[in-house]
Amino acid sequence: MNSTTSYLLKGTFLLFLILLAQTGLSQSIEPGKKTNSTTYAQNPVIWADVPDPSIIRVGDSYYMSSTTMHFNPGVPIMKSNDLVNWEIVNYVYDTLDDSDPFLLQNGQNAYGEGTWASSLRYHNGTFYLATFSNTTQQTYIFTTDDIESGSWETFTINRLFHDPSLFFDDGRAFLLYGVDDIRIVELTSDATTLKPNGVDRVLISDSKSIAGDKFYVPAEGAHIRKINGYYYVSLISWPAGDGRTQLTYRSDSLLGEYTGKVSLQDDGIAQGGLIDTPEGDWYGFLFQDHGSVGRIPQLVPVHWENNWPIFGINGEVPEQLDIQAEDDDPAGIVGSDEFDGNAGPAQYNEETSILKGLSLVWQWNHNPDSDHWSLNERPGYLRLTNAEFDTSWVDTRNTLTQRTFGPQSTGTVLMDIQHMKNGDYAGLGALQGTNGFVGVKKENGEMYLMMMKATPEEQEEIETLPLEQDKVHLRIAFNFEDMTDKAYFYYSLDGESWHQIGDMLQMEYTLDHFVGYRFALFSYATRETGGSVDFDYFRIEPGLLNEDG
């Protein structure tokens, strides 16, 4: 599939995204720390942006990869012991490429591109991950023998295989991929490159046809598994007038004839694969578009009839699951940080990683400039130093991000601004194509509090106030409940009395970024380089905090 087709699919998806609309605590979240007592788990199992999940079980442990897009380090690896509570334990790569789009240079960017859906596998003692990049137009195979703390070796294939699914069978390795006509290509047995004269053909033609006649998006997102002698291919389609739909194809031979069925059509919950528990229970691990918070995972019970997987209960995804597990905020994939190097698990190589002591809940927006951020220049603070000129905060490197989560979440920072220079801007942002931030700017030697709103076409300062001190508390509260999709911006001069600034931001999930909204800490220069800000902490909390904190 070429890049033009990919962009057309994204554009079509955007036109109809609105059709998928689905109808606190006061304790800051530490990575991996849970807050509720054991109870029956609820859907969504993660109310945060974890799209295109690929999941495996190794013994009693489950591992999952997810789409990265333009964030780095790339392709998070998450671990769970119960399919409900997940923690980021590793990333597959630090940076994928150092071309202009990944460096936000020469007017280029990787927003909405980067790397998309991945395929995670475990075979003969080695973990494999396949993914592809619309930005580089290449496919990548990564391997490691230590999924939780090891580094990954990279192999590059100079073809783009859209939504690849890696599969090992009888000493051979394959990739399934494509849109509508689902194709299969053979790799070498070690899955590191294409096999000369290997299989390369259509496996399932016109795969969307079992779901209708007209489609917003045909069928894609292949996941393949072999179960009890049958080969099962899971796909997602989007029939016109309906939500995302899960399809299953089956054959008793990998390269044989496949027959298909509609497996699930409930509230747009689709795309993902099958997973079993050590006790023999089966689930579909899928996702659901949920407005501006992003694409959130749902765990769907599966039973079997005549060797066909039957998703849901009476065709519906239950809100409550028959799993006893802590089920609360996604504390393993978001977290507070005092920027003292002790916020959570470190990256596999702390000295050379682009996280260098930051918790794995963080990702940089595009490739960071590692020479111009530090946890050591002022111990206990995150220092961001401006090394180049930028026109807006979405064009600058060294913007540190992490997921928001639902139904409501609030993030707060304390920022020291004494080393800002004229023309500098810094603050806390709500990052997506339609975005906003609360922050500080310096003009003619004077400091000003401000709230900015922007779209991809324009930005506007909504409110500006004089600031006469070196430290300021900033806060954004996100409300995703019932698809409200509103963000509110606050400041405090003492950390106790809070004041709303500017306007509410009506958030939109759009394909220019193709991700849910994120908290973002940033600083950029417009006139002089060398200015900096110090973030004392970032604290994230469930709930929608009001003006009184």
Tens of pLDDT, residues 284-310: 999 999 999 999 999 999 999 999 999
Among the candidates 300, 325, 350, a domain finishes at 325
The whole-number pLDDT of residue 39 equals 84
The verdict on 403 and 317 lying in the same domain is no
Q: Is residue 220 part of a domain?
A: yes
Beta bridge partners of 431: 518
The verdict on 257 and 369 lying in the same domain is no
Looking at residue 310, its amino acid is I
- In tens, the pLDDT along 124-177 reads 999 999 999 999 999 999 999 999 999 999 999 999 999 999 999 999 999 999
State the Cα–Cα distance between residues 476 and 181, nearest whole angstrom.
Answer: 44
The verdict on 309 and 431 lying in the same domain is no
The verdict on 165 and 221 lying in the same domain is yes
Among the candidates 325, 350, 382, a domain finishes at 325
Domain CATH number, residue 182: 2.115.10.20
Q: Is residue 116 part of a domain?
A: yes
Q: What share of the chain is helix, strand, coil (3-state, %, to 5)?
A: 5, 45, 45
State the Cα–Cα distance between residues 42 and 57, nearest whole angstrom.
Answer: 21
Segments of the chain scoring below 50 in pLDDT: 1-26, 32-35, 547-549
Q: Is residue 485 part of a domain?
A: yes
Among the candidates 325, 354, 374, a domain finishes at 325
Task: Give just the sign of the alpha carbon dihedral 215, 218, 223, 226.
Answer: positive
pTM score, whole prediction: 0.92
Strand 425-431's sheet: what is its strand order? Answer: 71-72, 363-365, 400-403, 518-524, 425-431, 435-443, 446-454, 459-467
User: Which residues contact residue 197 at a Cβ distance below 8 angstroms, ignoring those fewer than 6 apart?
Assistant: none
Split into its structural domains, the chain has a count of 2
Q: Is residue 171 part of a domain?
A: yes
Q: Is residue 80 part of a domain?
A: yes
The verdict on 309 and 402 lying in the same domain is no
State the Cα–Cα distance between residues 433 and 430, nearest whole angstrom.
Answer: 10
Q: Is residue 347 part of a domain?
A: no
DSSP label at residue 7: H
Q: Is residue 165 part of a domain?
A: yes
Q: Are 297 and 285 within 8 A, CB to CB? A: yes
Q: Is residue 337 part of a domain?
A: no
The whole-number pLDDT of residue 327 equals 57
The verdict on 320 and 383 lying in the same domain is no
Domain CATH number, residue 481: 2.60.120.200
The verdict on 383 and 458 lying in the same domain is yes
State the Cα–Cα distance between residues 503 and 392, nearest whole angstrom.
Answer: 19
The whole-number pLDDT of residue 12 equals 45
The whole-number pLDDT of residue 395 equals 94
The verdict on 394 and 316 lying in the same domain is no
Q: Are 179 and 165 within 8 A, CB to CB? A: no
Domain of 513 in residue numbering reads as 363-542
Q: Are 174 and 193 within 8 A, CB to CB? A: no
The verdict on 319 and 370 lying in the same domain is no
Radius of gyration, CA atoms only, the chain: 23
